[in-house]
């Protein structure tokens, strides 16, 4: 049996697919099984995948099922103890999986290992600076549950997961549009520690069709995660790491208030800001937002 299962999902990324697949096939870790699923693309992606059918298990959908249903299907078709996800517009450097496997096998408590990453443009050129506008954790390993309550910390294509985690924590939520990865990382981080390979072995491609640009659908995901995975589960979350968790929950509830304000639901926004301050009353930004709503 292979040690690592690679699950590659594709939707209308024909121009990027060959580089993604070749980067999986070119890994220094040779003990792999690779499944590539196209989710009813209309741009010729299925013809691209069929060229690799002699080396990769290829599945072609006739109707679009969505990112997370497709990922779950790919996971179910594989059997290795570790799973690595590769989005069809991203690229791996050759040593990625080998380096991650070494970290994963060093500690049975590690449920997820991610790598450093760099950002490339549509043509594959490195983008300098911070085009995502996100400050990433300076040492993203260990117990990261509190940090993950604030936001997603991992590029999906950088992640390797212990299959055992999915049996314990569940698979991807299929109704989500673009934040199902963050939702799964939150569940894993409740029970497992996080490992990290600092070298930038994942190349994340930034282009105009990235999921994050679908703002309304992403906002709906954001609301669901904050309500169902965070607010609804505060009693369970508070069992972890006292003060650090109170601060994280307070910040997450303030973010929920911002979500409701963007949706023009003022009463729910006000309620979330008030609840936030019960957990983290020293945050000036939340007080200012509360005063704004109270004054309105």
Contact call for residues 260 and 292 (beta carbons, < 8 A): no
> Fold for domain 4-213?
Spore Coat Polysaccharide Biosynthesis Protein SpsA; Chain A (3.90.550)
Q: Which CATH code of 1.10.3470, 1.10.110, 1.25.40, 1.20.272 fits the domain covering 215-295? A: 1.25.40
How far, in Å, CA of 132 to CA of 187, rounded?
A: 24
Going by C-alpha positions, the residue among 213, 208, 114 that lies closest to residue 162 is: 114
- Residue 149 makes CB contacts below 8 A (sequence gap 6+) with 186, 230, 237, 248, 249, 251, 252
Contact call for residues 22 and 53 (beta carbons, < 8 A): no
Contact call for residues 154 and 189 (beta carbons, < 8 A): no
Query: How would you write the pLDDT of the chain (296 residues) with one tens digit per residue?
Result: 799 999 999 999 999 999 999 999 999 998 899 999 999 999 999 999 999 999 999 999 999 999 999 999 999 999 999 999 999 999 999 999 999 999 999 999 999 999 999 999 888 899 987 777 666 666 699 999 999 999 999 999 999 999 999 999 999 999 999 999 999 999 999 999 999 999 999 999 988 665 554 688 899 999 999 999 999 999 999 998 789 999 999 999 999 999 999 999 999 999 999 999 999 999 999 988 888 776 55
Count how many residues are written for the chain. Answer: 296
Q: What is the residue extent of each domain of the chain? A: 4-213, 215-295
Extract the tokens encoding 11: 């939707």
Domains 4-213 and 215-295 share a fold: no
Strand order across the beta sheet in which 57-60 lies: 57-60, 32-38, 4-10, 82-87, 160-162, 110-120, 193-205, 91-92
């Amino acid at each position: 049996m292979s040690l690592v299962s690679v699950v590659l999902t594709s939707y209308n990324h024909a121009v990027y697919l060959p580089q993604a697949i070749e980067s999986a096939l070119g890994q220094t870790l040779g003990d792999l099984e690779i499944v590539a699923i196209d989710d009813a693309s209309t741009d010729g992606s299925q013809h691209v995948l069929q060229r690799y059918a002699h080396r990769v298990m290829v599945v072609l959908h006739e109707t679009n099922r969505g990112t997370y249903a497709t990922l779950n299907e790919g996971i179910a078709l594989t059997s290795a103890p570790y799973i690595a996800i590769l989005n069809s517009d991203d690229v791996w450097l050759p040593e990625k999986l080998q380096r991650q496997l070494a970290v994963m096998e060093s500690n049975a408590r590690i449920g997820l290992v991610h790598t450093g990453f760099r950002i490339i443009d549509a043509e594959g050129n490195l983008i300098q600076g911070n085009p995502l506008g996100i400050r990433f954790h300076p040492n993203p390993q260990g117990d990261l549950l509190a940090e993950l309550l604030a936001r997603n910390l991992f590029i999906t294509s950088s992640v390797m997961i212990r299959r055992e985690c999915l049996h314990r924590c569940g698979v991807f939520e299929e109704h989500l549009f673009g934040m199902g990865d963050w939702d799964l990382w939150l569940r894993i981080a409740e029970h497992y520690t996080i490992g990290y390979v600092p070298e930038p072995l994942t190349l994340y491609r930034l282009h105009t069709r990235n999921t994050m640009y679908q703002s309304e659908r992403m906002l709906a995901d954001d609301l669901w995660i904050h309500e169902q995975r965070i607010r609804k589960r505060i009693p369970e979350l508070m069992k972890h790491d006292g003060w650090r968790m109170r601060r994280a929950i307070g910040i997450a509830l303030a973010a929920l208030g911002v979500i409701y304000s963007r949706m023009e639901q003022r009463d729910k926004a006000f309620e979330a800001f008030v609840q936030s301050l019960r957990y983290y009353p020293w945050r000036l930004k939340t007080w200012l937002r509360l005063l704004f709503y109270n004054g309105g």
